[in-house]
Amino acid sequence: MTTIKDRLIGRLERKDAVIGIVGLGYVGLPLMLRYSEVGYRVLGIDIDDAKVDKLNAGRSYIDHISAERIARALDTGFEATSDFSRVAEVDAVILCVPTPLNKYREPDISFVIGTVDALKAHLREGQVISLESTTYPGTTEEELLPRVEEGGLKVGEQLFLIYSPEREDPGNPNFETHSIPKVVGGHTPACREVGVALYRPAIDQVVPLSSTRAAEMTKLLENIHRAVNIGLVNEMKIVADRMGIDIFEVVDAAATKPFGFTPYYPGPGLGGHCIPIDPFYLTWKAREYGLHTRFIELSGEINQAMPEYVVGKLIEGLNQQGRPLKGSRILVLGIAYKKNVDDMRESPSVHIMERVRDRGGEVAYSDPYVPVFPTMREHHFDLESVPLTPATLAEYDAVILATDHDRFDYDMIRAHARLIVDTRGIYRGESDERVIKA
């Protein structure tokens, strides 16, 4: 006898299944495009009516995703909606919603819970629900499982529940959604089997794990690994600077070792939705087990202190020119959290801007990817990006190179800026008293 699981796997393998993606941001939108491009009909669901309207009109709101790709998806049946009841139409429900921290630096999974609560009344037999949002181990079992079973459907028999963490790296030209291996953990073996069938047609390599908890922990380990190593090199930067050593020269040299070393480079702090946040998801959950993750928390403290360190180097540079920070005009170059993207989530540039403003400096910014400072929950600036020209640079007492976009003309910046605070090692190896390494 054909089971519910077998019928769902068959629909997924034949590409008869309809894929529903909830949350159409930096994770959900590329995933939608991938499923559409390999032959599935996709329904996108988002609470933001402006996003829905743009997508249905064939427009993109993410810089590295072209309108042409959106238009092609529409031609193959893609549709966006803010109507959560339409989840009943889909065979797979993939959740790509934010998991930020609250003001106490504790996990805020209200978006996940709110989304599941909005969907659960419309779930039906023969669907698979996949959570992709980064979260602490146990979230899928503790929060999603009881909610999706409220209607009487049994997970593992009539519904299938998996956790498969997103691994997007916006703006990275070397990896696309399909080429990044996909970790999949199921609540039951049947759930895992369905999860593999869901992702295998769209992703080049699927990595099945024994449980949703193992998959949740995998995502945290990946990003904590980066956060800890970046914290290490940021601390090394401070030590090297005090000793008169260029940390970028040191990292470049160490990277020539063909084994046992992975290069991480210092910067003005951590940004993005994952690396500054994920460590706190594990440290919070570990306390439930009576554990204190000192090593992880220490790296977080070091990384969070970097914007203050950068402003301290700015003050030193201004002092050398006989100027106080108060009343000085400071131009921040790049406010996206990483190069060549328009993503500002957790950007250290914004924290630098706030510290300059709080000390009486007049702050402005230039970023080709962010023409207008966006509305943010915690940070407020009424600013637009200023054009980066020799005349503009001459108007400012100092520039802080915070994000190393390829579109910046670094020779022109060096030629015309009065003072450069270089947080990205662009001018490594150069001797110029106007360049302050930070």
List residues with catalytic annotation. Answer: 274
Measured CA angle at 344 (ends 338, 349), to 5 deg: 70
Taking alpha carbons only, the member of 376, 388, 342, 381 closest to residue 361 is 381
The one-character DSSP state at 58 is T
Instruction: Reduce the DSSP state of residue 427 to 3 states and report it.
Output: coil
Write out the E strands in 114-198: 127-131, 159-163, 182-186
Nearest to 127 by CA among 86, 180, 185, 184: 86
* Residue entry with tokens 């963490």: 165
Q: What per-residue string of b and e applies to 288-324 under the rule 16 or more CB within 10 Å gives b?
A: eeeeebeebbebbebbbbbbebbbebbbebbeeeebe
CB count within 10 Å of CB 265 equals 16
How many angstroms separate the CA atoms of 289 and 392, rounded? 55
Strands, E assignment, 103-155: 127-131
**Structural element, H or E, at residue 219:** helix 212-242
DSSP string, 232-270: HHHHHHHHHHHTT--HHHHHHHHTTSSSS-------S--
CA 216 vs. chain centroid, Å, equals 16
Q: How many residues does the chain have?
A: 438
Report whether 403 contacts 426 (CB < 8 A).
Answer: no
Report the distance separating Cα 383 and Cα 299, nearest Å: 32
Q: How far apart are CA 111 and CA 154, in angstroms?
A: 24
